Amino acid sequence: MSSSTVATLQTSLAVGRIVAGGVPWLAPELGWRQFGVSPATAADPEAQALGRLFGSRDIVLGAALLGAKSSDTRRQILRAGLVVDALDLAAALLARKHMSTKGFVSMGGGAAFAIAVALISERAE
């Protein structure tokens, strides 16, 4: 895979993380709805606080990846994200029986995409 394609994937991942984290941080009810959570649960103040907790780490990972000046720094950020995303995918799989299809695809699919970008980046280096 070309280095420009890998760079585009990394930029897409970084921007996606910022959006995926920014929505639940700024509009937690909307953020929860993207994962198929019921409107009543999404409106709960505790659920909103949890959404913001989740959102913070993705905003930071995305911004750090966008701002990385060296390939070593980018690699470290991608590896940290890989661990987070593997745990997110495991969480989605563990909760699958209790999730809507929309929620599972949003959570599991996003994590799987991020894992793929990290692994592709690792191989390209």
As given in the structure block, the two tokens for residue 35 are: 């994962």
pTM flag (> 0.75)? yes
Quick one: average pLDDT of 37-66? 93
Domain ranges of the chain: 3-124
Q: Tell me how far apart the alpha carbons of residues 23 and 30 are, in angstroms, rounded to a whole number.
A: 7
pLDDT at position 85 over 80: yes
CB contact set of 63 (below 8 Å; sequence gap of 6+)? 14, 18
Contact 24, 51 (CB under 8 A): yes
Quick one: average pLDDT of 61-79? 96
Confidence (pLDDT) at 76: 97
pLDDT at position 125 over 80: no
Query: Mean pLDDT score of the chain, rounded to an integer?
Result: 93
CB contact set of 13 (below 8 Å; sequence gap of 6+)? 62, 65, 81, 113, 114, 117
For 88-113, the pLDDT digits (tens) are 999 999 999 988 898 899 889 999 99
